Amino acid sequence: MRSGLSSKRPEMQIISTAREAHAFAKGNRETVLVPTMGGLHQGHLELIRAARAAAGNEGRVAVSVFVNPLQFEPGADYERYPRPERIDEDLCRQAGVDLLFRPSAAEMYAADRSVFVEEQTLSQTLCGNSRPGHFRGVCTVVTKLFHLLAPRAAAFGEKDFQQLAIIRRMVRDLDFPIEIIPVPTVRESDGLACSSRNQNLSEEERRQAPVLRSSLLQAVELVRQGEISSIRIINQVRAQIGIAPSARIDYVDLVDAETLQARERVEPKSLLAAAVFFGRTRLIDNLLLA
Ligand code: AMP
């Protein structure tokens, strides 16, 4: 451990334009990127730690904060999405980030934009069903960030399992020379996955939200007892979530962790994934069953 080096790191740079991003990318030190929509929490900080570990002290860690309008379907929570700019900035600085890229929507998208990046298979299930256009927005913005900042690697969280799978597919199919670093889900002490959206929950909704995690864990127990039928597992999970009065299930699905296609029974690499509204706030979680 070469202690003391991090304290010598130059002050964090904050930029907001494509021009500045391209200039940063031209520097000859490697960059590891952490794309976010801000409202930073422990999950994001874990991604930043993973990025620093991958970059080393010589490399640069870049964090992008951009609430991407393209990935919010009409009527979703784009306007309500938290934007605590000053706090995010401080958290990045404390975490030893080298560059904070914080573009405006106008900087990222021309009014008459007409080119998009779309993954067409993995995007058809799970969140893709209930959020049409969401992953097209994600792939388009991540492509732009990859072009703008030219990272050697980028960190993504396993909480957004489908997103991670789609980004990996995109990187493979479009030949981005970028390593994708997966980061395990970070949770609050009661098991609820950290999410920027958690702050939109009322006190009562926050109290009920851990049922999302505990219902998935109950499925692990069922499998341990020998249950292999997807439908029975899904029904049990749905029933447990249903006990929470504020919960409204979007989906509970059991899929192959690689193809994300539905499975009738539990097999190796089965992923159980759920999306549930608590009031107006939609939360997701997942776990590998076998
Ligand atoms: P977001 O700001 O929600 O778009 O998330 C930015 C990145 O952080 C994505 O790669 C997410 O998967 C990741 N992320 C969000 N929440 C968590 C969490 N609780 N644990 C680990 N990674 C997370």
> pLDDT digits over 214-258, tens only?
999 999 999 999 999 999 999 999 999 999 999 999 999 999 999
Tokens linked to 240: 């447990």
> For the segment 142-173, what is each residue's pLDDT rounded down to a tens digit?
999 999 999 999 999 999 999 999 999 999 99
Q: Is 193 in the pocket of ligand 1 (CB under 6 A)?
A: yes
The string over 248-263, giving b where at least 16 C-beta atoms fall within 10 Å of a residue's C-beta and e elsewhere, is eebbbbbbebeebeeb
Of ligand 1's listed atoms, the one at least distance from the Cα of 156 is: 10
The whole-number pLDDT of residue 4 equals 45
Q: Are 152 and 176 in contact (CB under 8 A)?
A: no
The whole-number pLDDT of residue 290 equals 81
Portion of the chain with pLDDT greater than 70, in percent: 98
Position 7 confidence tier, pLDDT thresholds 50, 70, 90 = low
CA 144 to CA 155: how far, in whole Å?
16
Distance (Å) from CA 229 to ligand 1 centroid: 30
Give mean pLDDT, residues 114-139. Answer: 97
pTM: 0.96
> Rounded mean pLDDT of the chain?
96
Number of neighbours of residue 68 by Cβ within 10 angstroms: 22
Given a cut of 70, whether residue 83 has pLDDT beyond it is: yes
Q: Which residues pair with 34 in a beta bridge?
A: 63
Tokens linked to 45: 């900080």
Q: Is 157 in the pocket of ligand 1 (CB under 6 A)?
A: yes
Q: Is 37 in the pocket of ligand 1 (CB under 6 A)?
A: yes
Given a cut of 50, whether residue 2 has pLDDT beyond it is: no
Distance (Å) from CA 156 to ligand 1 centroid: 7
Q: Are 25 and 98 in contact (CB under 8 A)?
A: no
Residue owning the nearest CA to atom 11 of ligand 1: 157
- Laid out side by side, the sheet with 270-278 consists of 247-256, 270-278, 281-288
Of ligand 1's listed atoms, the one at least distance from the Cα of 44 is: 8
Q: Are 255 and 262 in contact (CB under 8 A)?
A: yes
Position 1 confidence tier, pLDDT thresholds 50, 70, 90 = very low
The whole-number pLDDT of residue 28 equals 84
> For the segment 21-56, what is each residue's pLDDT rounded down to a tens digit?
999 999 889 999 999 999 999 999 999 999 999 999
